[in-house]
Amino acid sequence: MKREFNFLKNYLKKHTLEFNSKEVKKGSAFIALKGKRDGHKFIDNALKKGAKVFILEKRKKNLYGFSHLETFTKIIYTKDNFRFFKNFANYKKKLYKGKKIALTGSVGKTTTKEFLFYLLSKFEKTYKNIKSYNNFLGLLYTLSNLNLSSKYYVQELGTNHFGEIESLVKFLKPQIRIITKIGKAHLENFKNLEGVIQAKLEIIKDNNFDFAILPKFLKNYLKNNLIKKNNIYFFDEKESVLEDRYLNSSFERETTIKVFNKIIKVRHKILGDGFLTSLIIGAYLLYLLNLDLKILEDIRDFQLPSHRLNIFSLNIYNKNVLIIDDSYNANPTSFENLIGILKKLKNIYDAEVLCIFGKMAELGNDEKKEHEYIYNKLKSFSKVFLFNIDFLKDTFYSSHEALFLDILKFIKNSSKENLIIAFKGSRINQLEKIVEKIKNVG
C-alpha cells in the first residue's frame, strides 16, 4: 500500500479525506467505512458533492455496483477500509516532525484546544483536531488530514470508558500531555470521581513524554505511582490568578496571572472562571516551549467555540435581553461555572435571570442527586425552566416549541428592564435550536 499512501498524502495537500458523505467538498477523497450503516451506500452522495478519489473495499464491488466510477475518478481498492484508514493515519503520524500536544479533562477540552491553537498559531503554523472529534475514529480522521508542514499539532482526547485514553495515547504518541479540569462526568462507566481521575491519568501512564501539565490536586494521586515527576508541572488557578476584574459593559476583562515567577496582565473577553484554567495552561505551555508570554497581554480577539458561553444581546418586547448560549454540553462541574457567571452578571446589571436547565447525561446512579444539587443552586437566585428532566418534582418541558413560547412570555411579563437567559444541557437536549429561534425574534 506504500504507493497508495504516497499518492493520498500528496493529494491531501490540497484536499480533504472524508468518511461522512455530508462533509465531502469539491475534490475530496471519500473512504467508505462501515458503522451503523455501510459507507459504500453513500458513494453516489459523495460523488454528487464533488468527491474525486474513492477508497473502497474490492469485495463489495458487485454488491454495490461502483464499477462505473472507474472511468472518471481515482479508486483505491482495499481488503479492509478501516485497516487502511488506521494504517494511513499511522503513516502520516510517522512522517510528522512537529510537536504533538494531547489534552483531556472533564471540562474545557475543546475550549483549551482552541485557545492553545490560537496562541501557538501566533508563532508557527499549527494544526488542531477537526471539530470535537476526540475518539479513535476522530483521531484517525484528524491524522489522515494532518498538515505535515505544521510545527504544532493540538489533539483533544475524549473518553467514556477505562482504557480509551491509554489506547489513544499509544497510537498518537504525543510529546506533550495536558489535563484541564476533572469533574463528575460519564459516571455510568466510571462510577465516581475517583474513577474519572484514574481514567484521565491514563494520558501519562506510558511515562514517555517531554513534559505534562496537570491540575495540582493530582499530585496526591501520583505519590505512590511509578510515573516520573520531574517533567510534570502542576497548576492551580487560585494560586496563579492574582487579580481578575471586568472593565466595562462589553465584558472586557483584565486577569493578572503569575506563572513561573512571571506576572502578566491579560486583556480578554471570556466570561467565567472556567476559562482561567485554559488561560493558565496556555501560559504554562508557552513558557515551557520558550515562547514569548507577552502574546497573552491582549487576547481580546479570541472567541470561544460555538454554543460554549457565547453571548449576544437582543431587544425583545423593549427589554434588554442578554442570551448566554452554553448549550453544547453539560456536567455538574461546567454547570457550577455557569452559575458563578450568572450570579456575577445578575448583580452587575440588576437583572432578572432565567436558566434553561437541560438534562445532564451519563451521570449513572448519581443522576437524580446531581440534578437536584444544581437545581437548588439555580433556584436560589434564578427562575428555572427544566427540560427533559422528568425525575424531579417540578414541572418540566419536553417540547422545544412549548419552551420557546414560555420563554417569550417570561420576557414579556418580567418587571425588570434587564434580563439574562442562559441555556445549558447535554447534547441530547439540542437547546441550541431554541437559542436560534430566540435570536430570530430579536
256-280 per-position pLDDT tens digit: 999 999 999 999 999 888 899 999 9
Radius of gyration over alpha carbons of the chain, in Å? 24
Give mean pLDDT, residues 225-249: 85
Give the helix/strand (H/E) hosting 401. Answer: helix 400-413
Per-residue confidence at 224, pLDDT binned at 50, 70, 90?
low
The DSSP bridge pattern shows strands 352-358 and 126-128 to be unpaired
144: CB partners within 8 A, 6+ apart: 12, 17, 85, 88, 89, 92
CA separation for the pair 217, 214 (Å, rounded): 8
Question: Phi, psi at residue 293, to the nearest 5°?
Answer: -70, -15
- Using DSSP's 3-state secondary structure scheme, residue 386 falls into strand
Residue 412's H or E segment, with its range, is helix 400-413
DSSP secondary-structure letter at 249?
Answer: T
CA distance 361 to 330: 8
Exposure b/e, 69-78, CB count within 10 A at least 16 = b: beeebbebbb
For residues 124 and 104, what is the distance between their CA atoms, to the nearest angstrom?
23
pLDDT computed for residue 132 by the predictor: 83
Average pLDDT over residues 121-141: 94
User: For 144-183, what is each residue's pLDDT tens digit?
Assistant: 999 999 999 999 998 888 989 999 999 999 999 999 988 7
Q: How far is CA 193 from CA 106, 216, 346, 422, in A?
A: 10, 16, 31, 27
Cα separation, 175 vs 183, whole angstroms: 25
CA distances from 195 to 134, 156, 157, 234, 341 (A): 20, 20, 17, 20, 29
For 369-427, what is each residue's pLDDT tens digit? Answer: 999 999 999 999 999 999 999 999 889 999 999 999 999 999 999 999 999 999 999 99
Q: Which pTM was predicted?
A: 0.88
In this structure, what C-alpha cell is assigned to residue 435?
A: 437559542
Domains and CATH numbers, the chain: 2-82 (3.40.1390.10), 96-297 (3.40.1190.10), 310-441 (3.90.190.20)
